[in-house]
Structure 1
Amino acid sequence: MATDIKDVTHAVDASAVMGLLRGRPRLLALGEPTHGEDALLDVRNALFRQLVEQEGYRTITIESDCLRGLLVDDHITTGAGTLDEVMERGFSHGWGASAANRELVRWMRAFNDGRPAADRLRFAGFDGPLEITGAESPRAALTALHDFLSTRLDKDLLDATCAVETLDRLLGRDDRWTNPAAMTDPSRSVGRSADATELRLLTDDLVALLDAQKPHLIATSTRDDWDRARLYGRTATGLLRYHYWMADTSPSRMTRLVSLRDRMMADNLLAVAGVDAESAAVGAVGSAARVDRTPVLVHAHNGHLQRNRSSMRMGGLPVEWWSAGAIVSARLGDAYAFLATALGTIRHQGVDAPPRDTVEGLLYAGPDECAVIDARGLAATLGDSLPAPRVSPWFGYAPLDPAHLAGVDGVVFVKDVAKTEA
């Protein structure tokens, strides 16, 4: 392929990224094609640091448990906990063991040191409390929501909706919710039991009570308290819905589950960006007066952030769904931007130099070790002669689909991903 791409290739820096976009998006997402490679996270860290310092981004959110992420946010904003404790308890999916994630948290804490509250960086996880092998118990989210209400509402009013003893009885032991066998055997899921069904109704009632008492709750809460209460409600509702569909036996079960996960992600992203229905309604009422935390930087797998329909194979069967990025983009339009990361090699995983007739092969033939590519410009340069899709020899890496170029705002290309030394 002889296409000359030098006119659409730029250095990886904030000015080059912003030059590809229509203004400054409220949510700027950077995807990655594989997880667990600190070399890619180092590129993320350097770019995000520039975007914070030069473009005023004030929240960083990543594909990690939204409830655990509250510990990270507390640490970087107030210094609560040690860095070791935060890395151990503040991340899901094993992300806390990453040296690059550790450096991100350390830098965010240092950036905030001495800054006024209104100008501090914030951190959020935007994934649900989910792992590939299953989902957490809704206990943490439900009890936190109940605790928030119990300190602000009349006890009789709250008990008439749901007493804490009722929650404890219906939740039971946490291990019945987290049984990994339920991911492959729906009959092992507790999600459609009588207790789970009653919990879904009570959770709906608690969230409705939160809404009905909004004027009082806003006036008697800090902004963070109110946002967290909304997060607890969203998370409890989402987890119970996820567990319900884990017990499903229909052929669409896995499609439903991956769709629900990305729906939870999208809801959290919209809330962090301050554009969910509740955030718009809060305004500057009472002590919950809004401190703008936007614009927001997002990091996750490309498949969770792209505008196009996502797909993968699970259990040998194809699964397709709309990602969190596609849902958010449909809501925000140009206020959402997406940069996909593509790579040349991950030799320690058996991913060698890409064929020259692929997008990655075209970029790999260039001189840059790391570059930002104008994706739409590249698509226009290629015209109708789209490159062939790259086929990965390793299941953990998803190549860039050339048909998606027109729906991507930019491509961050990393030529060679070296193995991180322990």
Structure 2
Amino acid sequence: MASFLDLLAVSPDLLALGEPTHGESAFLQLRNEAFMSLTEHGYRSIAVESDRAAGLIADAFVQGVADVTLDNALAEGFSHGFGAAPANRDLLLRMREWNAGRPVTERLTFHGFDAPVELESAPSPRRHLNQVCHFLDLDRSAEIDDLIGDEALWNDTAAIWEPGRSVGRSTDAQRLRVLADDLVTELYLRAPWKSAGWQAAFVHATAAVALLRYHAAAAAPLAQEERFARLAAVRDALMAENLLAIRSAEAHRGPTLVFAHNTHLQRQQSMMTLASMQVSWAGAGAIVASLLGDRYAVIAGSLGASPALGIGPPAPATYEGRLQQDTSLPRYLPTSDIAAAEQRTHDYRYFPLDRTIIEHADAILHIPTGVDAAVLAERIVALPDVEQVVASEENGSPEAAWGDRFFFVGPDRRQPFATIVEHDVPGFDEAAQLDRPGVFRLNLDLGRAEFERRFGFPPKAFEEHRHEFDFARLDTLVPHPGYAQHGFAGIVMPGPQLLPEIDGLLAIAHGRAVDRRERAARRATQPEPEA
């Protein structure tokens, strides 16, 4: 990470790390590693592309609030479905563990910085207005309910395409905007007497204002292309406002890492094709960069292949193709090292690198490939004499194991040296939570000596240490929850940065299997003792 920071001309207050697509876990896993490393350089906060008000719940878990569980934090503390990402689970847990025993001033904080909207829909501000009224001990719920009316009218996705159907410029919506603005004023008036919980109430108040602004933009009678550009711009303006507010709150505690899609973080104009329309707008990064100058830095994300998203390897002549010619590992590199190349074909899954992105970024993070079960299987079967068996109905495997992979040296099927599993085994192996979408675990036969070297205790002592491990954590070698006593260990969803370590572990497990085969062969050739 020190070399990563060395790529930046100055030390920023807001360091933005972008991803070129959503859904490739490798970016989130590397984000987690980056943030935890940045804590050694004074960073104490992270802001991610998720609803800011929802993020209050996730941060409550991070701060150790007893009545906020991890399940609550993931289900309610993220928007856009991002709580389902296994790497976000890891992020919250690692932050909470880091905070344990530290003073409040040194704790890590979690923020969302998005508005509570999607491009094509937005709820009413009812929940947020009621939260503020509750904090201020005001009973205005009947008035709020009367002005909002039917929630379905606010959530109507057709209203985004047909401004006449939007409630955003109705008389009641205008009155709600005045009400929300009055509540913001009231918060400031009462701040001297109600400082506890004030920040959270203010976040809800600004969320209500944001929703009303977005609905007003949706009701504007503009041509479609201009209309969607306006909606995208309003959302990013709200993001920028949140980022600046977060930065103001965190300024005395250290820099902030920001993580989101490249289009929200880049300095230049953002562009997107939507329903055959080319939409262009100033993203949050462009806004913040214009106001903070060199106190804002951005690292744009680049991706080679993603099995999870169905994105194949890039053509060699493209920017991405050239970036992965030298190495198969993720790397940060200065933009000055990237020569001109062809632009990769754009599709809805991936926003490719181009010259403009590179010229306006401070550095690039390139990930040659995401890692899924098939990618790991290819590495394993490339080892000498390895045979793979995939559990299926045809070979008599139990249904719960169908799709799991078992790797052997030669035809002997008594003991695999490695397995890749994608299912929990109820009552036996559930700790890794493998039934989460896209989650898998690589299991390896390390043997007693290597197991003890890695974990500090022999396999037979595992049960005494079981409580020390989070078996669902990604990128972490842990004892196998079911077969540790036999010298097995596992890694859930190892990211591409771990491939060299994976290769080393595979060499150990494969070597043990080869030794077993050779010993068996020697025994088979020894003459039987005479009677």
Per-residue deviation at 1:180?
2.5
Match of 2:259 in 1: 299
Task: Give the AA of the match of 1:179.
Answer: D
Task: Give the AA of the match of 2:293.
Answer: G
1:228 aligns with 2:194: no
Per-residue deviation at 1:16?
1.4
Task: Give the AA of the match of 1:56.
Answer: G
Q: Quick one: distance in 1 between partners of 2:254 and 2:232?
A: 28
CA RMSD of aligned residues (A): 2.0
Residues 291 and 118 of structure 1, relative CA distance in 2, 3 Å threshold: farther
- Secondary structure at 2:301 match in 1: strand
- Secondary structure at 1:357 match in 2: coil
Q: Quick one: distance in 1 between partners of 2:254 and 2:173?
A: 37
Match of 1:378 in 2: 337
1:259 aligns with 2:241: no
Contact 2:187/2:198 (CA < 8 Å) preserved in 1? no
- Secondary structure at 2:364 match in 1: strand
**Aligned residues between the structures:** 372
Q: Quick one: distance in 2 between partners of 1:171 and 1:93?
A: 23
Match of 2:114 in 1: 127
Match of 2:360 in 1: 407
- Identity among equivalent positions (%) equals 41
Q: Quick one: distance in 1 between partners of 2:343 and 2:355?
A: 6
Question: Aligned runs of 1:85-164 on 2, under 5 Å?
Answer: 85-150=72-137, 163-164=140-141
Match of 1:62 in 2: 48
- Secondary structure at 1:78 match in 2: coil
Contact 1:118/1:292 (CA < 8 Å) preserved in 2? no
Match of 1:181 in 2: 158
Specify which of 191, 201, 206 is matched with residue 217 of structure 1. Answer: 191
Task: Give the AA of the match of 2:164.
Answer: S
Task: Give the AA of the match of 1:262.
Answer: D
Task: Give the AA of the match of 2:11.
Answer: R
Per-residue deviation at 1:67?
1.1
Question: Aligned runs of 1:208-357 on 2, under 5 Å?
Answer: 208-211=185-188, 213=189, 216-222=190-196, 225-251=197-223, 252-274=226-248, 292-357=252-317
Q: Provide Cα deviations, 1:12-58, integer angstroms capped at 9, x if missing partner.
A: xx201210123321111100001011122111111111112x21211
Instruction: Using the TM superposition, name which of 127-136 and 309-318 deviates more.
Output: 127-136
Residues 121 and 398 of structure 1, relative CA distance in 2, 3 Å threshold: same
Contact 2:304/2:320 (CA < 8 Å) preserved in 1? yes
- Secondary structure at 2:111 match in 1: strand
Match of 2:350 in 1: 397
1:31 aligns with 2:18: yes
Match of 2:62 in 1: 76
Q: Provide Cα deviations, 1:344-382, integer angstroms capped at 9, x if missing partner.
A: 11245442222222221210211241111111x225xx3
Per-residue deviation at 1:78?
2.5
TM-score in terms of structure 2 length:
0.67
Contact 1:388/1:402 (CA < 8 Å) preserved in 2? no
Contact 2:61/2:96 (CA < 8 Å) preserved in 1? yes
Q: Quick one: distance in 2 between partners of 1:83 and 1:135?
A: 26
1:43 aligns with 2:30: yes
- Secondary structure at 1:68 match in 2: helix
TM-score in terms of structure 1 length:
0.83
* Higher radius of gyration, 1 or 2: 2
Q: Provide Cα deviations, 1:306-336, integer angstroms capped at 9, x if missing partner.
A: 0010000112101101111111111111111
Q: Quick one: distance in 1 between partners of 2:220 and 2:251?
A: 42
Q: Quick one: distance in 2 between partners of 1:69 and 1:195?
A: 29
Q: Provide Cα deviations, 1:92-147, integer angstroms capped at 9, x if missing partner.
A: 11111111111111111111111111111100111111124301211122222223
Match of 2:342 in 1: 388
Contact 2:23/2:309 (CA < 8 Å) preserved in 1? no
- Secondary structure at 1:133 match in 2: coil
Q: Quick one: distance in 1 between partners of 2:89 and 2:253?
A: 22
Task: Give the AA of the match of 2:104.
Answer: A
Contact 1:138/1:239 (CA < 8 Å) preserved in 2? yes
- Secondary structure at 2:98 match in 1: helix
Match of 2:325 in 1: 365
Residue ranges of structure 1 left out of the alignment (5+ in a row): 1-13, 280-289
Contact 1:218/1:226 (CA < 8 Å) preserved in 2? no
